[in-house]
Amino acid sequence: MKLLSIITICFAALCLAGRTHAQTFADVQPIFLSRCAPCHRPGEAAPFPLITYEDVAKRARFIKQVIQTGYMPPWRADTHYRDFANNRSLSRVERDALVKWIDAGAPRGAATQANIPEGTAYSRRPDLTLTIDSPFLVPGDDAERFLVFKLPYELPADRNIEAVEFYCNNKKIIHHINYGFYAVPDSTIDIKGGRPYIDSEDPASRQVEYDGLKKNFVYYTGWIPGASYERYPTGFGWTLPKRGVVLLTVHYSAIGADEHSVVGVNLFFTSKPILRPIQIISLGSGGVGENDIMPPLLIPAGQVDTFNLSVRTQQDQSILYIWPHMHYLGKEFTAWAETPRGDTIPLVHIPRWDFRWQELYRLDRMVRLPAGSVVHIRGVYDNTDGNPFNPFHPPRLVVSTGEMTSTNEMMTLMLLYTPSTPEDK
């Protein structure tokens, strides 16, 4: 009898241990913070935040709908072709947990406080933030604009960089930005004087004034809708010189109402030495092989056309990030490489291109391209009335003129890489 009682008690304890507790917001909030909040937070491109219980609960049914259809979180890369470390799509377990919590009435439970650094999606606050001195007024006259802002800085010493992030108070009005870092070691050159920005579309204010600051190039990167930050493994990165400028080329979208814009960069330092320097190469429109796209990037009205580019690598490269880019007529983007031995290496496939949701795709491990490999890019463009993103109705001839206005087109692949070592596989 005594033994039976012990067995009964143990069985009941095991049953209780295996029973899952009712989910509250504390259980699902980490999913919202990791998958949704990078875009759904103040200053980002998404229309509302998804951080607190109040943010989420009032949209619970809508959230259930968009996650069950796969519309959110947005992730356009084909993970069967190649998956990436920054894949923000929900796993089945995460999706089921959110749906179960919503179906249970979205119970609040114990109050939680999200620890999110303000002004960044990175895991900690930036060590240095450089921004323009005052907000720039973007007129609501339905015209695209290209501005080059100068951000001068002086530090006590050079700094090694483990991550870099575009800073903006209002990303909804940004088409894209590119920014370069330049060392200006000559103290006789005034980096703080002159105009704080120039209008690259104004013939009277071409970039002659800034050309003298570009003699010592350090690093170059950018931001596109949907992207977050750029970070590197330990021992990888680049070095920010102690004195220099950042030149941000900002492409403002055409908007119908005045908006104020503050742009800049967040920089995250590391005390670890940089053993593997990061570099970037741009292939296609605006880069290497621009004139070799076949056929030339001219898309007649009413047609769906395919264009190809092949570029041979000149050195052994180990790829960390892959950055494809097209505009509104883009329909499908594919990139792969063929090595001198005849191996085929998938790089990225976007089966349903959507300009609103792009990304700097971070590889979970480096991809090595031996010297002499051929990188192939294939872009499909839809210039018909059936394309809901077509900026022209009825459609008209769209060309690639070397300019970056969104009504022109681009077919670009940027690769962030480091020169390979014998240890890279």
- Together in a domain, 98 and 132: no
- Together in a domain, 169 and 208: yes
Domain around 68:
17-103
Judge whether 245 and 370 are in contact, CB under 8 Å.
no
pTM for this structure? Answer: 0.84
- Together in a domain, 132 and 252: yes
- Together in a domain, 284 and 272: no
Distance CA 238, CA 417 (A): 12
- Together in a domain, 331 and 271: no
For residue 194, the 8-state DSSP code is: S
> Would you say residue 9 lies in a domain?
no
> Would you say residue 166 lies in a domain?
yes
The CATH number of residue 238's host domain is 2.60.120
Total domains, the chain: 3
> Would you say residue 246 lies in a domain?
yes
- Together in a domain, 265 and 294: no
- Together in a domain, 210 and 348: no
Q: What crossing angle do the helices spanning 60-68 and 92-103 adopt, rounded to 10°?
A: 150
24-47 burial: b if 16+ Cβ within 10 Å, else e: bbebbbebbbebbbbbbbebbbbe
The CATH number of residue 345's host domain is 2.60.120.230
- Together in a domain, 133 and 272: yes
> Would you say residue 295 lies in a domain?
yes
> Would you say residue 24 lies in a domain?
yes
- pLDDT the model gives residue 44: 75
- pLDDT the model gives residue 19: 40
pLDDT single digits (tens) 206-235: 557 788 888 999 999 989 877 889 999 999
Distance CA 26, CA 242 (A): 43
- pLDDT the model gives residue 150: 96
- Together in a domain, 91 and 153: no
Distance CA 260, CA 137 (A): 5
- pLDDT the model gives residue 201: 67
Choosing from 229, 252, 276, the residue where a domain stops is 276
Both structure tokens of 393: 């109705």
- Together in a domain, 233 and 360: no
CA atoms within 13 A on the CB side of 56: 26
Contacts of 356 (CB under 8 A, 6+ apart): 74, 225, 226
> Would you say residue 111 lies in a domain?
no
Distance CA 149, CA 207 (A): 11
- Together in a domain, 271 and 173: yes
> Would you say residue 115 lies in a domain?
no
> Would you say residue 132 lies in a domain?
yes
Residue numbers of the chain with a pLDDT score lower than 50: 1-19
**Amino acid at residue number 368:** R
Choosing from 248, 276, 304, the residue where a domain stops is 276
- Together in a domain, 166 and 285: no
For residue 97, the surrounding DSSP H or E stretch is: helix 92-103
Long-range contacts of residues 56-65, Cβ cutoff 8 Å, at least 24 apart? 56/25, 56/29, 56/32, 56/106, 57/25, 57/106, 57/108, 60/102, 60/106, 61/102, 63/98, 63/102, 64/98, 64/99, 64/102, 64/103
- pLDDT the model gives residue 42: 76
Choosing from 36, 68, 103, the residue where a domain stops is 103
